[in-house]
Amino acid sequence: MTRFTFLDGLRGIALILMVINHTSRWWMDTSMGWGRYWLVYGSMVWPAPIFLFLVGFCLPLSHRADTGGPLGLAVRSARRAIPIIGTGFLLNVLVFPEDPWWSGGVLQTIGLSIVLLGPTLPFLDRRAVRYGLLALAVGAYVAFAGAYPALVGWVSRHPVTAQILFLDFPPWPWVSGAVVGLVLGRVWLDARSAGREARYFRTAAITGVACVLGWFAWDWWFGTMPRFGFARDLVLNRHWTPAGGTNLLVVGGGALLLAVTWWAMQVRRLRLRWLVVLGRSAFMLYFLHQLIVLTLVNRALGLRFNDWLFYSVANLGLMVVLVCLGGAWLWLESLTRRERPEASTDLTIIPPRP
């Protein structure tokens, strides 16, 4: 399977934002005021959408014509998804014991996305299929936003079922992000093979700028307080989903990051090895950093960094540790690959737990 360093770089950026989101919530308290609130919110806006987008975006890279058709792809997708879903349950047991082990989570959503989207890969060369998938993705999100008031009441009346269906980046509507990534990933591969890759990313950059400018206009018009915060979005069962104009910021920022990382790492050939290490080991670091940040530092040691200088230094030290752990993981993985030449790196990516 071909690897593209700009995708690893983008994944690494999302991982950094995810770690900052977790440390801002678990290493500081409300005494840090609005600065902490805005850091929590700002670091929440992009990682999850980027990660879910990349889950779909990378799937066409792994598609081969000899996979046995949709049935073969379904089996292969299930084999990839089951360990991911199982890891999500293990995460509940080790890091979030306050939740039942069978609670839903982002890993379960990622696993389900792979199961659902894998069998569609042979049909993505048809334009009608692509438009149909995009329509389904948008329709699922719009339906969720429309049903939100009713869902708030339903969750309060069915707390056990809500733990499974609507806890941590639930499948409805978050699979939509993976669907959009799937379609745009296939469009990118087509553009690349036709020599139009630069135009593809130029379009992404222009779209990103337009969306961000649209968000500023919407923010000025909407005018609620706080101007940048959760009050404008959909918070169901204590978990966040963007709403309204926030989607312009999500799409715009994600598109710009995609275009910039492609330009920097594919065109300008910037190596940024530390960022690539974070991106390539994101699955392991997603699991391990929560043991460090929450289980060890927050709960076991009881440490708080309610000072911006101390907090910044602690985060910098954590990032160095994560890069070292990621490098060690990739080294061990390379040893395994030498023993099993057919093995390929899993391109699954993980968003933060809100």
Distance (Å, rounded) from C-alpha 195 to C-alpha 192? 5
Distance (Å, rounded) from C-alpha 1 to C-alpha 293? 33
Residue 194 DSSP class: T
Binning pLDDT at 50, 70 and 90, where does residue 36 land?
Answer: very high
Please tell me whether residue 136 adopts helix, strand or coil conformation: helix
pLDDT value at position 101?
87
Q: Say if residues 205 and 267 touch (Cβ distance below 8 Å).
A: no
Instruction: Give how far Cα 12 sits from Cα of 9, 54, 59, 179, 324, Å.
Output: 5, 12, 18, 21, 14
Give pLDDT tens digits for 232-285. Answer: 899 999 899 999 889 999 999 999 999 999 999 999 999 999 999 999 999 999
Residue 5 amino acid letter: T
Residue 300 DSSP class: I
pLDDT value at position 64?
64
Distance (Å, rounded) from C-alpha 106 to C-alpha 98? 17
pLDDT value at position 200?
97
Which residue matches tokens 């071909």? Answer: 2
* Inter-axis angle of helices 5-26 and 47-58, nearest 10: 150
**349 has a pLDDT exceeding 70:** no
Give pLDDT tens digits for 111-163. Answer: 999 999 989 998 999 999 999 999 999 999 999 999 999 999 999 999 999 98
Q: Based on C-alpha coordinates, what's the Rg of the chain?
A: 20
Residue 323 pairs in a beta bridge with none
Domain definitions of the chain by residue range: 5-339
Distance (Å, rounded) from C-alpha 282 to C-alpha 277? 8
In this structure, of 60-74, 215-229, 240-254, the range with the lowest mean pLDDT score is 60-74
In the chain, which ranges are continuous DSSP H helix? 5-26, 33-45, 47-58, 69-94, 106-117, 127-157, 159-165, 171-193, 197-222, 246-262, 273-280, 282-290, 308-339
Binning pLDDT at 50, 70 and 90, where does residue 342 land?
Answer: very low
How many beta carbons lie within 10 A of that of residue 155, not counting itself?
18
Give pLDDT tens digits for 275-317. Answer: 999 999 999 999 999 999 999 999 999 999 999 999 999 999 9
Q: Say if residues 337 and 331 touch (Cβ distance below 8 Å).
A: no
74's CB contacts (< 8 A; 6+ apart) are: 115, 118, 119
Distance (Å, rounded) from C-alpha 244 to C-alpha 228? 13
pLDDT value at position 354?
43
**pLDDT cut 70: percent of the chain above it:** 93
Give pLDDT tens digits for 170-219. Answer: 999 999 999 999 999 999 999 999 999 999 999 999 999 999 999 999 88
Give pLDDT tens digits for 319-341. Answer: 999 999 999 999 998 887 765 54
Binning pLDDT at 50, 70 and 90, where does residue 44 land?
Answer: very high
> Is the pTM here over 0.85, yes or no?
yes
Mean of all residue pLDDT scores within the chain:
90
**346 has a pLDDT exceeding 70:** no
Distance (Å, rounded) from C-alpha 57 to C-alpha 188? 9
pLDDT value at position 341?
43
